[in-house]
Amino acid sequence: MKDYFVPESDIDRRSFLSLAGKGLGLATLAYPAVGALFNELKAATRRVEHLSPASAAADEDFWFDIQQSFSITRGITNLNNGGVSPSPRIVTEALVRYIWQQEDVTAYTMWQILEPQIETVRTGLAEAFGCDREEIAVTRNASEGLEICLFGLDLKPGDEILTTTQDYPRMLTTLRQRELREGLVLKQIKIPIPPKNLSEITEAFEKAITPKTRVILISHMINITGQIVPVKEIYELGRGKGIEVIVDGAHSFAHFDFKQKNLGCDYFGTSLHKWLFAPKGTGMLYVKREKIERLWPLMAADKKQVNDIRKFEEIGTHPAANHLAIGEALMYHNGLGSRRKEERLRYLRNYWADRLKGLPNVRFHTSFEKNQSCGIATVEIVDVDPVAVGGYLMSAHKIFTTPIVHDEFKGIRITPSVYTTLGELDRFCEVVTDIAKKGLPKT
């Protein structure tokens, strides 16, 4: 697998061209638009390769160049990149090209020429996650991958599935459907918001496990707060008791730097259109090789595929273009550097959060410990409706955020990205500071 990627510290055009024919979108360098965009990225990263990731995170000249690689409006400040993110131009150019190819003698071109190339994307994703390519399925989003796992495990009435009250609503809906149809028991625990340390989360899971617990569902990074969860410790708890542990990695993959070995999990589902910046409607599912056979696919597959990770991709006709352009997203991610990217996202979060800390009526629901968070944070203006705050930010200032209203807390979730400017965050802080001191303007 090492043949398919160039290390972050040695990324240049010659290295990539030497891999031509091995896939992962590398042939796109022969196309002027994509090749030029890649050269721009290469030139920018070369200027900061002598810096540590943390030092590069504060180099505004470098990040100015990265900001230019996205073709986005500056008429709206987008602080909701956690929902779905814009792709850099290198990905969009490739996607459009693949779409045009797909439309030429489609039944032949798509199925005979384009679809087989998904294997290089599979290899690239496996390299990024640190696993075998035969353990990676390419899906449409995190929900699809996670529902494959949650519906695909054989369970019986009375079996318990354990998760938290902060888990993603679609996953909870999935589990409640099994609860209604099959008599399973969904147990939800509360975890601190935020915890003092990660052991508080592990201990909450440990106390909730019973002899009937068969499955644990955990979010690697909780979508409504950005809290990072100690997956490996919880996995070890489950493994010792024969409990299947499914990890929702929708917000963690390509957001901060880690590999499968850091988690130890058997099942991991994520979206690629969030932090990897891949085309919309792309995702990844990891299933440990020895678990594939006993996990049912969401849509029926031929029995000869029982041990084949590709059985989870049997969804009928679907576009090849979206999946192939994941290759360019991986190329961009590797060129930028996963550790450099992580540090920039954390730097941006700290930049705005540090300005709001200590203000009257401002409360954070996200830990600022480095092992507990990265680029996402949720902030509350006490006694002010977060939906109203979000509406005002957008209508009056064209700042797009995510209001969070949960049974246990409320606030607005802020998710900048690598293309976000400090000036945009300054403006956001000015408006929020004014609201915290004076309240929302009367209408």
pLDDT(263) > 50: yes
**Which among 190, 95, 175 has a CA at the least distance from the CA of 143?**
175
DSSP for 337-348, please give it: -HHHHHHHHHHH
Question: Looking at 220-376, which runs of residues are DSSP E strands?
Answer: 244-248, 267-271, 283-287, 362-364
Percent of the chain residues topping a pLDDT of 70: 92
% of the chain with per-residue pLDDT over 90:
89
How much is the pLDDT for 11? 37
Whether the pLDDT of residue 297 is over 80: the answer is yes
Q: Are strands 267-271 and 244-248 parallel, antiparallel or unpaired?
A: parallel
pLDDT-based confidence at residue 358 (cuts at 50, 70, 90): confident
Pairwise CA distance, residues 430 & 443, whole Å: 20
The pTM score is: 0.91
| Gap between the Cα atoms of 342 and 84, Å rounded | 17
Task: Give tens-digit pLDDT for 3-54.
Answer: 333 333 333 333 333 333 334 444 444 455 677 787 888 889 999 999 999 9
Give the residue carrying structure tokens 């009375």. Answer: 158
Please check the confidence at residue 103 and state whether its pLDDT lies above 60: yes
- Say what the pLDDT of residue 6 is: 33
Residue 429 has which token pair? 């802080």
pLDDT (tens digit, 9 = 90+) per residue, 160-200? Answer: 999 999 999 999 999 999 999 999 999 999 999 999 999 99
Q: Which residue has the higher pLDDT, 13 or 102?
A: 102
pLDDT tens for 67-86 read: 999 999 999 999 999 999 99
pLDDT value of position 34: 72
Q: Give the torsion through C-alpha atoms of 319, 322, 326, 329, to 10 deg.
A: 170
User: In the predicted model, what is the mean pLDDT of the chain?
Assistant: 92
Q: Is residue 379 within 8 Å of residue 44, measured between CB atoms?
A: no
Categorize the per-residue pLDDT at 442 as very low, low, confident or very high, splitting at 50, 70 and 90. Answer: confident
78 forms beta bridges with: 400
Supply the pLDDT for residue 33: 66
In contact, 402 and 412? CB cutoff 8 Å: yes
Query: Cα separation of 57 and 233, whole Å?
Result: 30
pLDDT band at 57 (very low <50, low <70, confident <90, very high): very high
Q: How many helices (H) and strands (E) does the chain have?
A: 17, 13
In order of their start, the domains of the chain are: 119-328 (3.40.640.10), 340-437 (3.90.1150.10)
Mean pLDDT of 225-242: 96
Q: Which of 36-50, 62-76, 128-142, 289-303 is the least confident region? A: 36-50
- Provide the sign of the torsion angle of the four alpha carbons 232, 236, 239, 241, taken in this order: negative
pLDDT at 234: 97
Query: What is the model's pLDDT at position 420?
Result: 98
Q: Are strands 377-381 and 362-364 parallel, antiparallel or unpaired?
A: antiparallel
